[in-house]
Amino acid sequence: MSNPLKGWQVRREDIAFLGHDLQRPECILAERDGTVWTADGRGGVMRLGTDGDQQLIVPRTASTTSQDFETRYVQAQGSLPNGLAFTREGDFIIANWGTDAVEIMSRSGEVRTVCSEIDGQPLGKANFPLLDSKGRIWFSVTTREQPWTNQLNSRANDGYVALIDERGARIVADGFCGTNEIRFDANEEWLYVVESTGRRISRLRAQADGSLTDREVYGPSDLGGHPDGFAFDAHGNLWITLIFADRLVALTPEGELLTLLDDGNAEANAAYEQAFAARHVTPGVMAANCGTLCPWMASLTFGGPDLRTVYLGSLRGTTVPFFRSPVPGAPMIHWGERV
């Protein structure tokens, strides 16, 4: 069977936009009924209904005031949901970039902290949660450095993946360079890990007890940019967002890297790449490096009744771009459990 992504790219005229006046819609969840949820920079989660209605759900303690670039993106103060997943009951598992904790929030805004430290030590920058078929929560921590942007220059391998199960919370793999999104394959045999600052995807074999072994790099050792979010399609292609460069690429099962959408600013990206090579990335250089369709393209998810609608998340966008894919996505675990 030929790969449906070969020779295919996203046409700009085929991109539509969902929502308005969003803040930092970094991570997106799609449900079977067409409802879309996004993380929101005002401290909660935004519901985007099929009728165009928007509803912001925030913890009662969250501040919904806007903040400047330095505070919002570098210092990351206050509740700042980053990665999202559903519990089996349909509540939200939140990796909170602002509170440095993993939380669960109900659809009415009640929040409880699930994990804020391991072995008596603060988590660091909690990035992304993942629920497996056994009901266990996995999550990634990007770095322990403060502010987190220092890690872009230090290249510290201080990121890790942790697991919460009946034994409590524990680190199951560490030594990653900018740990970001994590995903299982369909059989939960391999856990795939984005190393954003390392500019690569790694994977580890998952054992029944939650231990991870046989770590290896999956695909190129350098993707040509910083991977942030990713998702498998039904053909086995791994779709990857490259933040700052604002490119959407796909890694085929054979290891070929395909560019599906390029919305980057070539001049600004060249300046950023020079600063990154010199280990002198500043907030100003970062801020200048973004596109216009989906600025700081951070994630993607497949949705729609046939899983062929691709939604893009971003850190600096105010809408959710979406388009149709020639191949359906691999369903997230909640797709089979919840309607």
Q: What is the pLDDT of residue 338?
A: 39
* Integer Cα distance of 82 and 106 in angstroms: 16
* Integer Cα distance of 229 and 156 in angstroms: 20
**DSSP string spanning 135-183?**
S-EEEEE--S-SSTTHHHHH----EEEEEEETTEEEEEEEEESSEEEEE
pLDDT single digits (tens) 245-277: 999 999 999 999 999 999 999 999 999 999 999
- For the domain 12-337, what is the CATH superfamily, name and number? TolB, C-terminal domain (2.120.10.30)
Q: What is the pLDDT of residue 146?
A: 87
Separation of CA 224 from chain center: 18
Give the residue-averaged pLDDT of 1-19. 95
Distances (CA, A) of 149 to 75, 124, 145, 275, 280: 9, 13, 8, 13, 11
In 207-328, which ranges are E strands? Answer: 212-218, 226-232, 238-243, 247-251, 257-262, 297-303, 309-314, 320-324
Distances (CA, A) of 135 to 50, 166, 334: 29, 10, 11
pLDDT single digits (tens) 128-186: 999 999 999 999 999 999 888 899 999 999 999 999 999 999 999 999 999 999 999 99
pLDDT single digits (tens) 29-85: 999 999 999 999 999 999 999 888 999 999 865 554 555 544 444 555 678 999 999
* Integer Cα distance of 305 and 197 in angstroms: 35
* Integer Cα distance of 79 and 265 in angstroms: 30
